[in-house]
């Protein structure tokens, strides 16, 4: 998905557009907008929503999701890296963009020219920002991350204070934000957040001149009112996937992953299917071919254990998931035939498969399932099944 902008299609329906597609992602923009409204209501209107759109907006497609979120009034964006931030600016995003991950001094000039807010973790980066600020005649804002117990990125409290106090002396830079990240945000027992909160607030007291504080991801934003501060960094929640340890704040999944059966094979009892012949028919079977595989991000770990929907019924994955395709047993689904829609994530009839269901079967988490979806699957954005934008090649 190299093209930076979503193409706009004429007013076609999803059904018309996808009739002859192997596999595609549908993005429901009405749900995305409703999720913004629901999360805003949940966290309170005095708390900013910072949309985390790293990793291609969790595999959904940044070129569609980010501009839509800006239209829906999101306050800020966050990405992992400087190149991801530049992509947002090239898409026309005008709200503040925070880089959550490490940046190198060599990236300072790009960060300043694209008005990105870096998380500064060392003097060399700050010095490079000062030079870039002078060259561009701008005063970049920076944030400082405090490591309060995750021990991933960020500075221990005393180092964060020392760096912040030094940055404060540099007139070319504005220290805008102080932030941290919870280690057990998504666990059933997130009580360690209490300890992290105490460490964060102790640091914030010593740096009470820094105006903007943030600490919560989606789960923490939903569960813990006292950790919302000035903004909450929400990724999965905006996309409508409920964290495993929270109640549903009124959100619905934006993404559906679909494909079409492209062939039905009659397989005799005793015959095996797919690489390694790891599944064998116990009865004369009808085996459907689904043209999407691990090269698209559909996990290979679903071999012989995944499920999809065909004609509103569950069909088991049989045999190994290959790079581009896999097989499902449709013997018990009367009338299943080539051209039928296959739902891998989403709704069909009365049935529903969520990213969390796929994750459970694949032995991972819903973030991983959606973020793994590759650009080679086209993304189709729609409202009420009328196509609004297409990303990728159909
Ligand atoms: C990815 C990320 C988030 C968003 O987490 P969700 O669970 O998707 O809301 C927030 N903060 C940081 C530092 C992150 O890396």
pLDDT tens digits for range 80-90: 999 999 999 99
Confidence of residue 7 (pLDDT cuts 50, 70, 90): low
Query: Does the pLDDT at position 1 exceed 50?
Result: no
Task: Determine the distance separating the centroid of ligand 1 and the alpha carbon of 71, expressed in angstroms.
Answer: 21
What is the DSSP code (8-state) at residue 146? B
pLDDT of amino acid 10: 62
Residue with CA nearest ligand 1 atom 5:
217
Higher pLDDT, 9 or 58: 58
pLDDT of amino acid 11: 80
pLDDT of amino acid 108: 98
Residue with CA nearest ligand 1 atom 13:
181
Confidence of residue 5 (pLDDT cuts 50, 70, 90): very low
Question: Of all atoms in ligand 1, which is nearest to the CA of residue 179?
Answer: 13
DSSP assignment of 274-341 equals: SGGG-EE-SSSEEEEEE---GGGT--GGGTTT-EEEETTEEEEEES---SS-EEEE-TTSTT--TT-E
Let me know if 275 is a catalytic residue: yes
Mean pLDDT of 352-380: 98
pLDDT tens digit sequence for 284-331: 999 999 999 999 999 999 999 999 999 999 999 999 999 999 999 999
Task: Determine the distance separating the centroid of ligand 1 and the alpha carbon of 138, expressed in angstroms.
Answer: 29
pLDDT tens digit sequence for 202-225: 999 999 999 999 999 999 999 999
87 CB within 6 A, ligand 1:
no
pLDDT tens digit sequence for 136-175: 999 999 999 999 999 999 999 999 999 999 999 999 999 9
pLDDT tens digit sequence for 109-128: 999 999 999 999 999 999 99
Let me know if 54 is a catalytic residue: yes
143 CB within 6 A, ligand 1:
no
Of 371, 378, 340, 379, the closest CA to residue 355 belongs to: 371
Task: Determine the distance separating the centroid of ligand 1 and the alpha carbon of 364, expressed in angstroms.
Answer: 17
Task: Determine the distance separating the centroid of ligand 1 and the alpha carbon of 129, expressed in angstroms.
Answer: 25
100 CB within 6 A, ligand 1:
yes
Q: Which of 49, 100, 196 to mutate to test the pocket of ligand 1 (most atoms within 8 A of CB)?
A: 100
Query: Does the pLDDT at position 376 exceed 90?
Result: yes
157 CB within 6 A, ligand 1:
no
Read off the pTM: 0.97
């Amino acid at each position: 998905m190299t093209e930076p902008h979503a193409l706009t299609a004429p007013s076609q329906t999803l059904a018309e557009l996808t009739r002859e597609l192997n596999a595609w992602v549908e993005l429901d923009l009405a749900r995305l907008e409703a999720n913004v409204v629901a999360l805003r209501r949940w966290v309170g209107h005095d708390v900013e929503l910072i949309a985390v759109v790293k990793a291609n907006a969790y595999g959904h497609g940044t070129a569609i999701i980010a501009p839509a979120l800006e239209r829906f009034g999101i306050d800020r964006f966050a990405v992992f890296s400087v190149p991801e931030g530049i992509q947002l600016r090239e898409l026309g995003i005008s709200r503040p963009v925070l880089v959550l991950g490490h940046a190198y001094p060599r990236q300072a000039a790009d960060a300043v020219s694209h008005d990105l807010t870096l998380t500064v973790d060392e003097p060399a980066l700050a010095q490079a920002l000062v030079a870039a600020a002078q060259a561009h005649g701008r005063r970049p804002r920076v944030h400082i991350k405090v490591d309060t117990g995750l021990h991933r990125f960020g500075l221990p409290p005393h180092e964060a204070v020392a760096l912040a106090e030094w940055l404060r002396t540099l007139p070319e830079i504005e220290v805008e934000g102080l932030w941290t990240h919870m280690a057990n945000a998504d666990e059933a027992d997130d009580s360690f957040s209490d300890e992290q909160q105490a460490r964060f607030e102790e640091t914030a007291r010593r740096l009470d001149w820094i105006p903007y504080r943030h600490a919560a991801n989606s789960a923490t934003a939903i569960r813990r009112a006292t950790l919302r501060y000035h903004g909450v960094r929400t990724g999965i929640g905006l996309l409508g996937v409920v964290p495993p340890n929270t109640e549903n704040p009124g959100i619905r999944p934006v993404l559906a992953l679909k494909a079409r059966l492209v062939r039905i094979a009659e397989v005799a009892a005793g015959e095996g299917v797919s690489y390694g012949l790891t599944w064998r028919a116990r009865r004369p079977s009808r085996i459907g071919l689904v043209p999407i595989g691990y090269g698209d991000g559909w996990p290979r770990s679903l071999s012989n254990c995944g499920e999809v929907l065909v004609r509103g019924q569950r069909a088991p994955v049989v045999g190994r998931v290959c790079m581009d395709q896999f097989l499902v047993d449709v013997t018990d689904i009367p009338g299943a035939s080539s051209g039928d829609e296959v739902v891998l994530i989403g709704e069909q009839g009365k049935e529903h498969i969520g990213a969390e269901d796929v994750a459970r079967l694949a032995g991972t988490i819903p973030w991983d399932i959606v973020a793994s979806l590759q650009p080679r699957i086209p993304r189709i954005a729609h409202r009420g099944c009328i196509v609004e934008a297409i990303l990728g090649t159909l």
